[in-house]
Structure 1
C-alpha cells in the first residue's frame, strides 16, 4: 500500500513538473544587454556579430554549424547529393516549415533568397562567381550547378544567407519575416529590439549542438537592449535589470561571481589574435625575415600580458583550436617560447640592415596594445629595431590598406566555419599574401568534396602558411558574458542564442 501511494505521489509530482515546464514556455521574458544598436536586421547587407546575434532568432539558413563547426542541415532536410564531378548539388528541403507571415517555406523562397544573397553579400558575391545556376527542383528541393568545384559552399550557406519569403524580397527590406523560433514584434532604435515566440515554429531534429539540433522557444519574449558601455552592462546584470549581458571585461569576473545575482560564463575560443606581416612592400617581403619574426616571438608571454589570467586564453600553434574539426598540428614550426638565436641567424642570412620594423597596434583593443608591447621586446632581443606605432583603430585600418605605411599590424578574428574564409589567406587582405604554393594548396582544397579530403587539403594550407610566414598567431582568447541566477539552459556560443533557455 505504501509503495502504491509512493508511486501515485511521484506521478502527481511528474504531472506538476510538466505543467510547470509548460507554464515556463508561455510567459517568460529574457532581457539581453548587447554591445550596441544593430545597424540593420538585414544580415545579407551587414553580417556583423551584433546583427547575426539577433537575426539568428528570426531567420534561418539552409545549413548551420554544429559543435565542431561543421556545416549541418537546418532548413535543408539533409546533406546535399553531390554529382560525381563535384559540380551539381541537390539540396532537399524540410517540409511543413512556415514563415512568420503564415506562408509555406519552399524551393521558390530559397532560389529568390540565394539570388539576392549573391547580389548583395560579400561572401555571396564570391559564390556568385562560381555558380552557373540555382533552380527549383520541385517544391522541396533546389539544385545548384557550379562552374568549378567550390569546397566552402556549405559553409558559406551557413551564415548570412538567410531565407526570406520570395514575396517579401526587395533591394531594401521593409519587412523582416523568417522561419526562426522568434518573430520580430517591434524595434525602437537605441532602446530595444523585441522578439516574440513564433507559435507555429517547426524545429529541426537532433540534440542541441552549437547552432544545430532542437530549437525550442521557451521564453515568450526576448528583448535585446543596446548598452554600449561595458561597465553599465555589468551593473545592469548584477542589479537584476538584465538576464544576460554580452561581452564583459575580464576584470568583472570576480564581481559578477560574488554578486549572488548572476554568474559569469566563459565562452572558450571566441577568437584568435595575430600579427600580420606586409608581404607586398618593405622589410618583410623577405621570407627569412618573416620567419625570423616567427622564431623570435613568445606567444605565452604575449597572451599572458594581454589577458592576465589563464582562464581567458590558450596558446596553440594550430590555427584552429582544439575541438574544432579543423584542428591539426600539421606544418606548425617556429612556434614556442621564443628562440632569439634562431631568429638572429635568420636575420643575418637575410642581410637585415637595421631599418626599424613598423609595428602598428591600437589601445581601443587593449589586448592588441599589450601584445604589441611584448612583441617589441622579443623582436628587439632577437636583433630587430622596432618602431611601435600606437594609433586608434580607425587610423590603423586606414593605414594598413597602404603597403608603404607599415610592416606588421595586430588584429584578431573569430574562427570561421571554413578555412578558406580566413582573412589572411585572401590575396587582397592587407598583408597581400600571394604565393605559388599557397595558390596550389588552396586549389587542392577547393577541389575537395568530402570532409576527409577537405581536412587533408587544409593540413596542406596550414603547412604552407607556416612556411610562407604571412602572420604569427599569438593565441586563442575566451570571451566573458554573464547570465542571471535562475536562468537555465543557456549554452555559450560565439553568437549568443536564447532558444532552449528558460527565464528565471
Structure 2
C-alpha cells in the first residue's frame, strides 16, 4: 500500500515513520480483509456465550494495590473490584455509595463522621466495617507506603478511628474543603489487603480471580454483591503494549473494548461500522512545567516567547489526530475552572511575535532540555514542539525518562521543562488539583514561581467547601499562569475508547471523569443501534 493511500486513511497530519508505516499497514490490511466477515461475527458470537467481557489495555501496573496509585493504568483494572464511600452521579455530584448518608461535620470543620451501610460484604464474604476504612486511611497516610494519596492528605489529616462498627471518624488539622472529593475518589479495601501490592479485594461486583503481572487480569462476578447481579459473568484484561496490535485484536473480535485507542488511528476506527468510538473531554492533561527558579525560564520574556512559538495546531493534528482541544493554560475544558474565553495563544504559532518577545529576553540562553515520559505520545509531541521552537532559534534537547526518574526530576527540580500525559479523574474527579501544585511557592513540587495571589488562591481551592468559590479561584489561577507563561500545555487530549458494536454503550458522563465502568456493561447479541 502506498504512503499516499495510507495518508488518506490516517489523515494528512500524521508523520509516517517506518515503524508507524508498518503498524498502520497491519491495521489497514486487517480492515481490508473484512473485520465484519461471517467468520469474525461467528467468533464473537461463540466467544460471548461465556458472558465474559474482554478488554485490551496498553499497560498494567506491577503493583496492583489501588490505594497506591490513582492512575488509569491501575484504576481501570481495579474498577470492577473496589468501590468508594461516595461516588459521582451523572451530574458529577458526590452521592453515598458505601456510606449510609452524608458525613456529619463539626461546626469548626475539623471532625468528620461518616456512617457506613450495614450488610455490605467483601468478595471473601467478610462484612465491611469501620475498621476496613481505618486500615485504608492508615495506609494512604503512611509516608512509607508509597501511596500517591499522601500528597493530598499530608498536613490536613491528623487522626482517624472507628467510633463503632459502622461509623468512621476523621480529625483534621484545619478545614479541608477537598475532603469530600477525596472520600469520593479513594477506594476502600479489605483491611487485610490494605498493604498488599500483589492482590486486591473490595466490595465491587467482581473479584480478582487470577493475574499474570503485566499481562492478564481475570475477574469473576461476585454473587454476594450488594448492588445486584451484573450482566457479565467475568471481565478479562489483556495487555497489548503495541497500539496496532491492540486495534487488530479489536477488529478481529478477539477483544471487546479498547481503552487506549492510538490517536493516529482514530479516523479509521470511526469509519468502521462494526466499532463504536467514544470520545469525551475529560481530565486527560498534558502536564507542562518550566523551571522558573533558573535560566532560561527565569526570564519572563523567554517563557513568553516559547509559549508564543508553541505549535499547538501541529500537536493537535499530527499527534492527536484532531481528538483534542487547543491548549492555553493548565485547566482544560472538562475541568473545574475552565474559561473558554481565555485564548491568548492562536492555534498556529505567531513566529514574528515570538521573535519580538525573545529579543526582549535578558538571558543569553537559546536552548533548554525538554524532559518527557517514555510513551510514544509524549515523544511525538516533543518532536513537533521542538521543531516549532527551532524556528525562532531555540535549540531543544529531548530527554525521555521512565516514570520514577521523571518524577525524581520533578521532586528535585533538576529540569528545564517537564512534560507528560496524566489523567486525574480517579483522584480529583472533574478537577486536576495536582496539575497546579507546582505553581504554589510553598509546595514540595514548586517550580520556583512566586506569586502571592496564586498562593492565596491555591489555599482557598484546598480549604473552601463552596464549589463556586473554588471554581472562581481556579479560573483566576489559570489566568495568571497563562499570563506569566508558567504552564502552557499545547492541547487538552480527549479520552478515547473503542468497542465492538456488540457491547452496550458506555456512560459518557462517567467517562468524562475517567471511569470506563466495565462492571456496568453487557454483551448485546447482534449489536447495539447507535
Is residue 244–residue 484 contact of structure 1 (8 Å, CA) maintained in 2?
Answer: yes
What's the secondary structure of 2:79's corresponding residue? helix
Q: Which residue in 2 is equivalent to 1:114?
A: 137
Q: Which residue in 1 is equivalent to 2:367?
A: 357
Is residue 256–residue 262 contact of structure 1 (8 Å, CA) maintained in 2?
Answer: yes
Q: CA RMSD in A?
A: 3.3
Is residue 281–residue 333 contact of structure 2 (8 Å, CA) maintained in 1?
Answer: no
Q: Which residue in 2 is equivalent to 1:221?
A: 234
Unaligned stretches of 5+ residues in structure 1: 1-24, 204-214
**Residues 8-407 of structure 1 correspond to what in structure 2 (within 5 A)?**
28-67=51-90, 71-119=94-142, 120=145, 121-124=147-150, 126-159=152-185, 161-166=186-191, 168-169=192-193, 171-172=195-196, 176-189=200-213, 191-203=215-227, 217-257=230-270, 261-269=274-282, 271-273=284-286, 275-307=288-320, 309-310=321-322, 312-317=323-328, 319-329=330-340, 333-334=344-345, 337-340=348-351, 342-353=353-364, 355-360=365-370, 364-376=374-386, 378-379=388-389, 384-394=392-402, 397=406, 400-401=409-410, 406-407=415-416
Is residue 99–residue 177 contact of structure 1 (8 Å, CA) maintained in 2?
Answer: yes
Q: Deviations over 1:21-59 (max 9, x none)?
A: xxxx99621111222343132112344422211112111
Is residue 330–residue 459 contact of structure 1 (8 Å, CA) maintained in 2?
Answer: no
Q: Which residue in 2 is equivalent to 1:473?
A: 489
Considering only CA atoms, is the larger Rg found in Structure 1 or Structure 2? 1
Distance in structure 2 (CA, Å) of the matches to 1:302 and 1:192: 33
Is residue 278–residue 403 contact of structure 1 (8 Å, CA) maintained in 2?
Answer: no
What's the secondary structure of 1:122's corresponding residue? coil
Q: Which residue in 1 is equivalent to 2:20?
A: none
Is residue 357–residue 387 contact of structure 1 (8 Å, CA) maintained in 2?
Answer: yes
Is residue 399–residue 406 contact of structure 1 (8 Å, CA) maintained in 2?
Answer: no
Distance in structure 1 (CA, Å) of the matches to 2:269 and 2:389: 38
Q: What's the CA shift for 1:474?
A: 1.0
Distance 1:137 1:316, change over 3 A: same
Q: What's the CA shift for 1:255?
A: 4.4
Distance in structure 2 (CA, Å) of the matches to 1:217 and 1:258: 31
What's the secondary structure of 1:449's corresponding residue? coil
Is residue 39–residue 51 contact of structure 1 (8 Å, CA) maintained in 2?
Answer: no
1:445 paired with 2:456, answer no
Q: What's the CA shift for 1:333?
A: 4.2
Q: Deviations over 1:332-373 (max 9, x none)?
A: 6456644445544543444343x2221426695444344444
Which of 267-276 and 137-146 deviates more?
Answer: 267-276
TM value normalised by structure 2: 0.76
What's the secondary structure of 1:471's corresponding residue? coil
Q: Which residue in 2 is equivalent to 1:421?
A: 434
Is residue 275–residue 473 contact of structure 1 (8 Å, CA) maintained in 2?
Answer: yes
Q: What's the CA shift for 1:270?
A: 5.7
Q: What's the CA shift for 1:147?
A: 0.7
Distance 1:291 1:87, change over 3 A: farther
Distance 1:438 1:232, change over 3 A: same
Distance in structure 2 (CA, Å) of the matches to 1:134 and 1:404: 33
What's the secondary structure of 2:259's corresponding residue? strand
TM value normalised by structure 1: 0.80
Q: How many residues align?
A: 462
Distance in structure 2 (CA, Å) of the matches to 1:216 and 1:327: 39
Distance in structure 2 (CA, Å) of the matches to 1:377 and 1:226: 33
Is residue 86–residue 449 contact of structure 1 (8 Å, CA) maintained in 2?
Answer: no
1:487 paired with 2:500, answer no
Distance 1:30 1:410, change over 3 A: same
1:497 paired with 2:517, answer yes
Distance in structure 2 (CA, Å) of the matches to 1:34 and 1:441: 38
Distance 1:130 1:293, change over 3 A: same
Unaligned stretches of 5+ residues in structure 2: 1-47, 525-530
Which of 233-242 and 318-327 deviates more?
Answer: 318-327
